[in-house]
Amino acid sequence: MKKFLLSIVVIAGSVGYALYSSSNASASPAAAPTAAPSQTTNISIENTPTTSAPPAQPAPSPTVTPSPAPAPAASQGQYKDGTYTGSVANAYYGNVQVEAVISGGKIADVKFLQYPNTHMTSVYINSQAMPMLTEEALQVQSANVNTISGASETSRAFRESLANALAKA
């Protein structure tokens, strides 16, 4: 699950770069399968990139204009094996700090050394309500909106700490 989370952060970051920053898709082969220039992009686990070598397939998406923009740090290829601690990044409700474990050149694990506290004491589970919930695949959109709801602070802190850890790998 930790690998999943990280991979998805990586792929979504790559997709985001391709869609919003006109970044060089060929410099970021991981982004290629989902970097179609459509308004909607399915996020799929099957497309999960790894950071392992070789970065074989060139981008099959000729519509993404190459530019000198650098690929996201996490897509740049192999890391050195080891355990790397990220910086402490401040989120509104507290600090976030991650530790990245690299094995075989890949991100094998990401642990949270610190995270905002949410004061948990017990759990309530309402099983009757479960069948009323519906699930859908996430679709990244580029629609214009008046404003955006999101927990940006913690996400930013997470990425900041992870980027710091990977910079050492």
Partner 1 sequence: MRDTRLIMGMPVVFEVADAEATADDLEAVFAYLVSVDEQFSPYKDTSEVATMNRDGAHEPSKEMREVLAIAARTKEETRGFFDTTKPDGTFDPSGVVKGWAILNAANLLKERGRKNFFVDVGGDIQCAGVNAEGKPWTVGVRNPLGEGIVKVLAPGEHGVATSGTYVRGAHIYDPHTRAAPPRALLSLTVVAKDVLEADRYATAAFAMGADGLAFLQSVPGVEAYGISPAGTATMTSGFSAFVAP
Q: Which residues bind partner 1 (CB under 8 A)?
A: 1, 4-5, 8-9, 11-17, 19-20, 43-45, 90-93, 96, 112, 115-130, 132-155, 158
Shortest approach of partner 1 to residue 43 CB, angstroms?
4
Min CB(122)–partner 1 separation in Å: 5
Kindly give, in sequence order, each residue whose CB lies less than 8 Å from that of residue 20, ignoring residues fewer than 6 positions away: 142
CA pair distance 147, 35, nearest whole angstrom: 25
User: Nearest approach, Cβ of 84 to partner 1 (angstroms)?
Assistant: 17
Rounded Cα distance, 98 and 105, in Å = 18
Query: Smallest gap, in angstroms, from Cβ of residue 44 to partner 1?
Result: 7
What is the H or E stretch that residue 4 is in?
Answer: helix 2-20
Helix (H) or strand (E) holding 161: helix 152-167
Between 81 and 112, whose beta carbon lies closer to partner 1? 112
Kindly tell me which of 15 and 71 has the beta carbon lying closer to partner 1: 15
Cβ proximity to partner 1, 56 vs 123, nearer residue:
123
Task: Please count the other Cβ atoms lying within 10 Å of the Cβ belonging to residue 67.
Answer: 12
Pairing of strands 82-85, 94-103: antiparallel
Nearer to partner 1, 103 or 142 (CB): 142
